[in-house]
Structure 1
Amino acid sequence: MKLWSTSSARSLAALTAVAAVALGSFVGSSPAMAAGTCRSYNYSYGGNGNCVSYIQTLANHKLPTIAGYRIAVDGQYGAATRTAIIRIQQRWGLAADGIVGPNTWAALCSAGTVSNYAGESFTAAEWNAYRAAGC
């Protein structure tokens, strides 16, 4: 005996997803987990979650060349991450405000360390962050 039709099951799944988002119970600590990709959002001091980890990982691709150091990949957008993003923004000729918006995402998503044309290939971890962030 069939209790659910295929269309009923789809409707229930859609309704459940909408309710989860509306009630804030969507799994994940980042708005990008609910819709879109990390690159669809701006991130700044105080942010946290997977998308911040991707920002930190991608920043670490550039930092040794730009600043001579790396930052911890801990998913917390704190002072060290803000300083690192400002260094990258300055080097890339962007507004140095510490906010990871569309232009900073473009820089982070480039394999180039100091410009779109200079750099090396991503490591496996950087490539994973690149894909997961929506680059």
Structure 2
Amino acid sequence: MMMNLFSSFDPSTGFFSLNWLSSMILLLFLPLTYWYIPNRFILLYNKILILLNNELNMLMNYKSLGSSLMFLSLFMFILLNNLLGLLPYIFTSPSHLVFTMSLALPLWLSFMLYGFINNMNHMFCHLVPSGTPNILMPFMVLIESVSN
């Protein structure tokens, strides 16, 4: 029974809610289209991926070219979920904190740990603004590491 008009958009509506399934709909049907003759949507999708891959490769060095696949897949996943939200009566999962934090927190932690393990001096230098007094430097590292 609906208590109000917006309860259909609540992610925990009822015992068996399919609202979160909307974020996986495109991921289920997108690989199937690669088996058919390429249509305009797939050609546009591939052109966007190639363009974004070229942009990412300009920014990355030769050691980190493999991580462009992770960035591209994450970007396209968020983009397609946001585009699904433009359709009427479809639940937008990126608008909820659970979706955002489940993507952002592991990525942030992995980048921070990777930076501290491989480039500790550069990470500490990056976290201290220029002109900071020596007494405040340890506190600035703590403050800036949380704010990053």
Q: What TM-score do the two structures reach when normalised by structure 2?
A: 0.21
**Which structure features the higher share of helix residues?**
2
Task: Return the index of the structure with the highest Cα Rg.
Answer: 2
Higher relative contact order (CA 8 A, sep 6+): 1
Q: What TM-score do the two structures reach when normalised by structure 1?
A: 0.22
**Which structure features the higher share of strand residues?**
1
